[in-house]
Amino acid sequence: MTILICLLDHSLLISTQTSAGRFHYHHEPSAHQQQQKADQVSGLPGQPPVSFKHFAGYVTVNKTHGRALFYWFFEAINNPQDKPLLLWLNGGPGCSSVGYGATEELGPFFVQKGSEPKLKFNPYTWNNAANLLFVESPVGVGFSYTNTSEDIGQLGDKITAEDSYNFLINWFQRFPEYKSHDFYIAGESYAGHYVPQLSELIVDRNQNLSKENYINLKGFMIGNAVIDDETDQKGMIDYAWDHAVISDRLYQDIKNECDFSEKKLSRLCNKLIDEYFDVYEIIDMYSLYTPTCLSNNSSATTATRQSRTMQGAPTLFSRLDVRHKRPAGYDPCASEYSYVYLNRPDVQKALHANVTKIPYPWTHCSDNITFWEDAPPSILPVIGKLVASGLRVWIYSGDTDGRVPVTSTRYALKKLGLKINEDWTPWYNNKQVGGWRVAYDGLMFVTIRGAGHQVPEFAPKQSLLLVEHFLANRTLPSKPF
C-alpha cells in the first residue's frame, strides 16, 4: 500500500472521515500562516471599515538578550500582490514610527479628538501606493522592548541597523509572500542615518547570502534628513536668519564664533546656540508658519513635547534637544490624541502590543534612551556608496522646516559632489507648483513647497504624488495637470 502526503503551499493536506464515510480534506496552516493569523488586527477601537488587512505584533531580533521590535503592517489597498513593500522609519533617535508615521503622517488611520476612540481614514495614505510597514526601532522605543536592561545604555547607529536588519530577515519568514516584491525604505529626520545605514547593511549582506535571506532592496528615500553634522548646523542657522527668525546680531555672533566642522564647539558657541533655540520656545521650529498646540492636557504635552539633552547624540541633536516638540500640521495637537489612544488597554490588546507590560506609558519619543553610543558625523560617504551601487536614491525636503531645513540639505548635496543632470526645475501638483527638483547623477532631490519637517502630514497630497513617482521611478510632473 502506498501512502501519499501532499504538500500544497507549505501546508499539510489532512483528510478526515465523516460519519457518512466521505473524506473531507483541509489544509493544516503552516507556522508562518498561523503567526500571520495571530498578528492580524481586528476590532481596533474606533476603526472605520476598510477592505485591506493589517497586522501588528512583535518580531524577535536577538533571542539571547530577549530583544523584540514592534511592527504594524498594512496591505496595499488595491492589488497588494502586485505592489512593492515600503518600510517607513521615523528618527529621533528614539522616536516612534507608529506614533508619528502610522497614526499622524502617512498611515491609513489618523486618531481624532474626543472622549471615545475614533480613527479617521486618511485618503492620502501611502498604502495607496505600496504595502506599508512601520517598525518601532530601536528597542526601548514605543512598544519595542529588551529583556536585558543593559541594552538601553548601549544603543547607537550600529545596533539599530543590525536589529532592523534582523527584524527584516525574520519578518520575511513570517510573510514570505512579500520576499519577491520590490523592497524600498523611507524615513525622515534622524532616519537620515537609519535608512542609508540599513540599506548599506542589506547591500553588503546580500553579496554573500543564499536566496532564502536575500532582501530585494531597490532603493530608499529620506526627507528633511540628518545626514551631515557640519552642513546640517550651518544650514539651520542660515535658514533661521534668512527667514527672519533670529537677529542680525545673533546670526553674526554665531557665524564668528562657531565652527561647525569641529567635533566639539566652544563654550561661547554653545551659549549662542542656546540663545538661538530660545526663539523656538514660542514658535514651531518644525513648521515656521503654523500654530503651536495650546493644550491643557499636561501629561500628553509633557510626553510629546519634552526637551532634554541626549549624551553622545549627533551634535545637531544633542543640544537643547527639541525632538519631542511636535510639528504643528493641520491639527497642532495631533500627538496628544495619538498619545491617549495608544495608551488605551483595549487599543494595545487589539494591536497585540505591550505584551510584556512595560512599566511606563507609551510615548512618541523614548525617555529611557538617554545615551547614544555611536553616530558618524556624516552619512554622505554611505549615500555616495549606495548611489554608486545602483540603488534608486531620492532625498526630499519640506521647505518650512527650521530643524533640518532645505538649506542644510542643499549644502550637503553640494558637499556630496554629484554631477547635476537637470537643475532646479518646478514640479506640479495639479495646477499648482508642488516644489522644485534637481536631478543629480544617480540621485533625485525634491523640495515640497509649504511643508514642514514631517512632509506627509503638512502636504499629504504632494507626498503621495512623491512616493508614487519614487516607487515607479518616474519624474514628477513638470507641467500643470
Query: Could you read off the pLDDT of 424-477 as tens digits, one per residue?
Result: 999 999 999 999 999 999 999 999 999 999 999 999 999 999 999 999 999 999
- Known catalytic residues are 189, 401, 453
Residue 244 lies in a domain: no
Per-residue pLDDT, 150: 93
Residue 407 lies in a domain: yes
**Cβ 454 vs Cβ 327: under 8 Å:** yes
Nine cell digits for residue 474? 518616474
Residue 403 lies in a domain: yes
Q: What is the CATH number of the domain that holds 443?
A: 3.40.50.1820
Residue 272 lies in a domain: no
For the stretch 49-62, pLDDT in tens is 999 999 999 999 99
Range of the domain at 77: 31-231+373-472
Cβ atoms within 10 Å, residue 153 = 12
Residue 121 lies in a domain: yes
**Cβ 398 vs Cβ 448: under 8 Å:** yes
**Long-range contacts made by residues 268-272, C-beta under 8 angstroms, separation at least 24?**
270/319
**Cβ 388 vs Cβ 202: under 8 Å:** no
What pTM value is reported for the model?
0.90
Helix axes 191-206, 157-174, angle to 10 degrees: 60
Rounded-to-integer distance, Cα 320 and Cα 322, Å: 6
Using CA atoms, how far residue 336 sits from 136, 349, 456, in Å, is 19, 20, 18
Number of domains in the chain: 1
For the stretch 269-303, pLDDT in tens is 999 999 999 999 999 999 999 888 776 554 444 44
**Cβ 476 vs Cβ 467: under 8 Å:** no
For the stretch 307-332, pLDDT in tens is 333 434 455 444 334 333 444 344 66
Q: How confident is the model at residue 20 (pLDDT cuts 50, 70, 90)?
A: low
Residue 145 lies in a domain: yes
Residue 104 lies in a domain: yes
Residue 221 lies in a domain: yes
